[in-house]
């Protein structure tokens, strides 16, 4: 009988073990055959676990068992996960991982190893938790030229921004509340500074465009500077501040991935994704756009994605599905943040006359000849302490706008890009 | 070189041909090898088409070509599509179809034939157009016990309901506008009477629960009776009227599929899905809930889904992925609409005192001992011409509520079930 092993018995790993036993009948029916949990690798002891007999501290024990068909890696971090998975793949053992750091850093190598040894490297759980996105993007949308992907890929920051808006909390208070509820780590940097979302957009970018995008190549800005006033002003301008991870294909074939807080108009479904939910918008030439939303983290949601991969590996052993992207040897195909064109959400340090602001903005926009929107859409709007420009500006044009406002004595507290609807 | 054939050169079929040639490089790279369009089957002549040399009127020509690996069926209707696809499958030729009527009527037979001949029957395009839902539901969520699926599965009716609310149009005027824009057929019954959505929920139900659900077994009610007043009153009670196709697993293991207009609270993303977009919510024990939204119809969106299936069939020829459901020989596992438990949205024929209505409703709900919601949620609400009960009532309890209102002289214009948030 085929067996699978679980590496790491933390939140996700224990969820995988629990889910397998809870829904075993359904899971085996989907896999087309019965299979068993062979081992759980963890350095700690769990003498009271109902699965106490499955624990091992030795990767070699797992590798030596010829019945092991697939390994579910839920350890996190690059090492020793990477070495372990390379050992598995080199023996033809498929892997299913929830480890976004590992895939963002070493995806190309793992995929090449899977291909070379006719087995599979699956990572549905690495982006968007429970949300099916890797397989849909790679397979269902395979006929599309992907132009853009936008997503709320970090539930912790989304929860914090949400609390700031709905409960009027400061960033610090909302972070404390997220930590209290276990949504944020005591060391919250990976979430609030955008590194977690960065890893996920690296994975989606690599998958959509075929070349490995490394986290170091991606402009990443978190939400520490976002204030209560930003959140309220965005709402007054019929939108919300969200930490958006995105990638856009440029006209010259390069791509521009980045992570940053953005103003998202309420007309876009993503603006209304609240709390710890994630949501990903994929734009392609045939589909126009599709949205995938759900729980982006948590024990059972993430375990669901890992187990889905385990089932596929059991069912289709030796078929090579490998999501194929390669290390391009350079990151030259990635454009820098300076090349972003976007609308602007501008918050002023104090109350200003909306009429004056509109006059200044219309003047400067005419001057720089920026593209106007369709006739029925306003391309400029203002409320008492903020303004919104929805036509797409390049860096020079954005500077002209900020300069024009400064020249008239308006103090700018904060500006951020506008995500298109 | 492997080849594929397209059956039917209507909107979807011509979209498949166009998309293949537009994105051929990307498509072949995803398939892992070059492949070609072999034939287009259509009884009409297209002498000016750039693909004129591909047309044939004979299915036998296609079946006789040993290079044909997969057939994309875009003819619509049960026959002759069914006979053609059975001929393909019996020869080991995989099929990809956008034909919801065919899959809803004959899915179990087609899937059995695919399995028997080690090839694949794919139908991603049959539900939700461009939206990846079949593969995600079947594979990514395979480890979940699915409890409920809810969806806006018909863009035409969603467009009409939307126009009624936002532009204050009557049903008749909104339908005329939809017909003018080509969103609705001249004979609109399949859309407005719910038959199209019914076929799609049959497919999702069969896939999620493993037994073929036939359209005749599904309670189906369209939107002809919905008025402008219903739409406005739902909005006043912070929700929207949507044509919802759903299936719910009951405690005894049976399932309850149905199609009917429902009140959807704005707290649920589905209430805000507008125009011709579709959106599907899937609830499972591990994922909680996930949403899949996008364009539910149209030439290129549907072609995208068909082409994704063609790519998979080319790439994984002879692997049997068949989504496995069977004809259970009976439809006894399907509960009737009488067994539905739900909240109620009630619109009165004329203006009533919200206070009086609340008093009556609270009285009767206490009397029938209905389950109250969590403490921080109101389970009853009322505006001047409508009321909302969000606790789940069975048929007897619903009758008690309607009787209590009638006894106090309140005239009920319309009531509909509440979709849970």
**pLDDT, tens digit, 9 for 90 and up, residues B114-130:** 999 999 999 999 999 99
Chain A nearest CA to B309, separation (Å): 7
- Scan for tokens 């939700």, then name that residue: B128
Closest CB from B26, B139, B272 relative to A269: B272
B9: how many CB neighbours lie within 10 A of its CB? Answer: 23
Q: How confident is the model at residue B395 (pLDDT cuts 50, 70, 90)?
A: very high
Is the pLDDT at B321 greater than 80? The verdict is: no
Q: What is the pLDDT of residues A111-126, one digit of tens each?
A: 999 999 999 999 999 9
Q: Over the range B290-314, which residues count as b (16 or more CB within 10 Å of their CB) and which as e?
A: bbbbbbbbbbbbbbbbbbbbbbbbb
* Residue with the two structure tokens 């203002």: A382
Confidence at A322, pLDDT banded by 50, 70, 90: low
H or E segment and range at residue A294? strand A288-295
pLDDT band at residue B421, thresholds of 50, 70 and 90?
low
Average pLDDT over residues A406-417: 95
Containing H/E element for B258? strand B255-265
Name residues whose C-beta falls within 8 Å of residue A366's C-beta, 6 or more positions apart in sequence. Answer: none
CA–CA dist A304, A72 (Å, integer): 12
Q: Are A113 and A84 in contact (CB under 8 A)?
A: no
Window 268-287 of A: residues touching B by CB (8 A cutoff) are 269, 272-273, 279, 284-287
pLDDT tens column, A143-165 = 999 999 999 999 999 999 999 98
- Determine contact, residues A151/A247, Cβ cutoff 8 Å: no
User: What are B403's two structure tokens?
Assistant: 């009787």
Mean per-residue pLDDT for B237-251? 97
Percent of chain A with pLDDT over 70: 96
pLDDT at B151: 97
Of A26, A308, A316, nearest to B140 by CB-CB distance is A308
Please give the mean pLDDT across all residues of chain A: 94
Q: What is the pLDDT of residues B88-109, one digit of tens each?
A: 999 999 999 999 999 999 999 9
Active site residues of B: 200
Give tens-digit pLDDT for B126-151.
Answer: 999 999 999 999 999 999 999 999 99
A4 Cβ contact list (under 8 Å, min separation 6): A35, A36, A37, A38, A68, A69, A70, A71, A72, A310, A313, A314
pLDDT at position A378 = 67
* Chain B nearest C-alpha distance from A311 (Å): 7
Q: Which of B290, B303, B316 sits opposite A319 (nearest CB)?
A: B316
Give the contacts of A350 (CB within 8 A, at least 6 positions apart). A385, A411
pLDDT of residue A375: 54
Q: What pLDDT sits at residue B371? A: 61
Looking at residue A368, its pLDDT comes to 87
Distance separating alpha carbons of residues A94 and A97, to the nearest angstrom: 10
Phi, psi of A360 (to 5 degrees): -60, -45
The DSSP annotation for B189-233 comes to: HHHHTSHHHHHHHHHHHHHHHSBPPPGGGSEE--STT--HHHHHH
Question: Which of B22, B96, B143 should be substituted to probe chain A, the one whose Cβ sees the most A Cβ atoms within 10 Å?
Answer: B143
B-chain CB neighbours of A207 within 8 Å are none
Task: Decide if A197 contacts A154 (C-beta within 8 A).
Answer: yes
Confidence of residue A183 (pLDDT cuts 50, 70, 90): confident
State what percent of residues in chain B have pLDDT above 90.
90
Instruction: Please give the pLDDT value at position A369.
Output: 79
pLDDT of residue B378: 67
Mean pLDDT, residues B277-295 taken together = 97
Residue A285's nearest CA partner among B418, B93, B15, B95 is B15
pLDDT reading at B316 higher than 90: no
Residues β-bridged to residue B261: B243
Query: B49 to each of B6, B8, B118, how far by Cα in Å?
Result: 14, 14, 35
Percent over 70 (pLDDT), chain B? 96
Q: Of residues A100, A200, A249, A392, which has the active-site annotation?
A: A200
Grade residue A185 by pLDDT with cuts at 50, 70 and 90: confident
Chain A CA closest to residue B130:
A287
pLDDT above 80 (res A260): yes
Q: How far is CA A24 from CA A27, A36, A39, A123, in A?
A: 5, 9, 16, 21
CA distance A286 to chain B (A): 5
For A368, counting Cβ atoms within 10 Å of its Cβ (0-12 exposed, 13-18 middle, 19+ buried), the class is middle
Q: Is the pLDDT of residue A319 over 80?
A: no
Q: What is the pLDDT of residue B323?
A: 64
In order of A193, B164, B247, B271, B343, the CA distances from B158 in angstroms are 40, 10, 19, 10, 22
CA distances, B181 to each of A171, A220, A335, B76 (Å): 47, 43, 40, 21
Residue A184 has pLDDT above 90, yes or no: no
Cβ neighbours of residue A257 under 8 Å, at least 6 residues apart?
A201, A202, A205, A213, A217, A218, A219, A245, A246, A247, A248, A334
Determine the Cα–Cα distance for residues A288 and B285; give it in Å rounded to an integer. 31
pLDDT in tens, A204-254: 999 999 999 999 999 999 999 999 999 999 999 999 999 999 999 999 999
If one compares A182 and A7, the residue with the highest pLDDT of the two is: A7
Separation of first and last alpha carbons in chain A: 51
Mean per-residue pLDDT for B67-91? 97
Minimal CA–CA distance to B345: which of B420, B274, B407, B288?
B420
Please name the helix (run of DSSP H) or strand (run of DSSP E) that holds residue A157, with its range, or none.
helix A155-167
Of A13-27, A212-226, B154-168, the one with minimum mean pLDDT is B154-168
**Listed range (A168-182, A298-312, B62-76, B320-334) with the worst mean pLDDT:** B320-334
pLDDT band at residue B403, thresholds of 50, 70 and 90? very high
Window from A70-79, B211-220, B253-262, B265-274 with minimum mean pLDDT: B265-274
A200 catalytic per annotation: yes
* CA distance, residue B27 to nearest chain A CA (Å): 5
Nearest CA in chain B to A299: B286
A33 near B CB under 8 A: no
Q: How many helical (H) and strand (E) elements, i.e. helices and strands, does chain A have?
A: 14, 16
Question: Which A positions 375-394 lie with beta carbon below 8 A of chain B?
Answer: none
Mean pLDDT of chain B: 94
């Amino acid at each position: 009988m085929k067996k699978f092993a679980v590496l790491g018995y933390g939140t996700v790993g224990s969820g995988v073990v629990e889910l397998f036993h809870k829904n075993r009948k359904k899971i085996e029916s989907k896999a087309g055959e019965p299979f068993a949990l062979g081992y759980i690798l963890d350095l700690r002891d769990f003498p009271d676990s109902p699965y106490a007999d499955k624990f091992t501290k030795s990767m070699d024990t797992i590798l030596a068992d010829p019945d092991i068909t697939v390994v579910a890696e839920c350890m996190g971090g690059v090492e020793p996960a990477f070495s372990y998975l390379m050992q598995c793949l080199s023996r033809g053992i498929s892997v299913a991982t929830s480890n976004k750091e590992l895939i963002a850093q070493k995806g190309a190598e793992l995929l090449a190893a899977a291909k070379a040894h006719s087995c599979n490297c699956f990572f549905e759980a690495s982006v968007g938790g429970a949300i099916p996105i890797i397989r849909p993007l790679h397979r269902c949308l395979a006929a599309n030229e992907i132009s853009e992907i936008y997503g709320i890929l970090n539930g912790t920051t989304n929860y914090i921004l949400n609390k700031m808006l709905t409960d009027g909390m400061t960033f610090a208070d909302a972070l404390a509340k997220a930590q209290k509820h276990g949504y944020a780590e005591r060391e919250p940097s990976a979430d609030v500074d955008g590194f977690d979302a960065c890893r996920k957009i690296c994975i989606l970018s690599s998958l959509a465009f075929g070349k490995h995008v490394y986290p170091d190549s991606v402009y990443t800005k978190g939400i520490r500077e976002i204030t209560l006033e930003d959140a309220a002003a965005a709402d007054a301008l019929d939108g919300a501040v969200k930490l958006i991870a995105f990638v856009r294909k440029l006209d010259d074939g390069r791509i521009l991935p980045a992570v940053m807080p953005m103003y998202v108009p309420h007309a876009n479904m993503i603006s209304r994704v609240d709390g710890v939910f994630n949501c990903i918008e994929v734009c392609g030439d045939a589909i126009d756009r599709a949205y995938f939303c759900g729980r982006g983290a948590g024990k059972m949601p993430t375990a669901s994605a890992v187990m889905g991969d385990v089932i596929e590996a059991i069912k289709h052993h030796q078929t090579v599905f490998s999501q194929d992207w390669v290390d391009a040897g350079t990151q030259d195909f990635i454009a820098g943040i300076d090349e972003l064109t976007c609308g602007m959400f501008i918050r002023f340090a104090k109350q200003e006359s909306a009429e004056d602001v509109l006059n200044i903005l219309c003047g400067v926009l005419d001057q720089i000849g920026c593209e106007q929107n369709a006739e029925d859409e306003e391309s400029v709007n203002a409320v008492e302490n903020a303004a919104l420009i929805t036509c797409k500006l390049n860096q020079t044009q954005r500077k002209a706008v900020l300069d024009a406002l400064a020249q008239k004595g308006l103090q700018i507290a904060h500006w951020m890009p506008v995500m298109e609807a």
